[in-house]
Amino acid sequence: MHKVSIRPEAEDDLEAIYGFIVERSPSAAIRFVREIRRLCMSLAQFPNRGAGRDRRLPGVRIVVMRKRVTIAYRVHDDVIDVIGIFYRGRDYAPVVRRRDQSP
């Protein structure tokens, strides 16, 4: 089984999603973010279930939750590297490229 590592930038993405939803419903925001985290952690058992994006982002896979959240990640030998968590149709490709280039 793989280990799941969520990058700090992806944690920031989760915080932003929470902040967006909490204004309308704190309990819904908590449930939604927990659901996203569960999906990220489930990648440990099924790392290749997401769709590959090799044409635009070599080595990056994505999985979509409820047609509203896109999780971008890479599968390494024994680690799933969650690069970003994007909400409501945000164009994730430029952000993933930028995050892959940062140290």
Task: Give 59-62 contacts, CB < 8 A, sequence gap 24+.
Answer: 60/96, 62/92
Reported as a single tens digit per residue, the pLDDT across 32-72 is: 999 999 999 999 999 998 888 878 888 899 999 999 999 99
In angstroms, the CA 12 to CA 4 distance is 16
Q: What percent of the chain has pLDDT over 90?
A: 70
Q: How far is CA 84 from each of CA 23, 25, 40, rounded to the nearest angstrom?
A: 23, 24, 11
The confidence score (pLDDT) of residue 16 equals 95
Residues 81 and 47: beta-carbon distance below 8 Å: no
Q: For position 79, which CATH number holds?
A: 3.30.2310.20
Total of domains in the chain: 1
Smallest CA-to-CA distance from 56 within 13, 7, 94 is with 94
Reported as a single tens digit per residue, the pLDDT across 88-97 is: 877 788 888 8
Residue-number span of the structural domain to which 23 is assigned: 3-101
SS3 content of the chain, % helix, strand, coil (to 5): 40, 25, 30
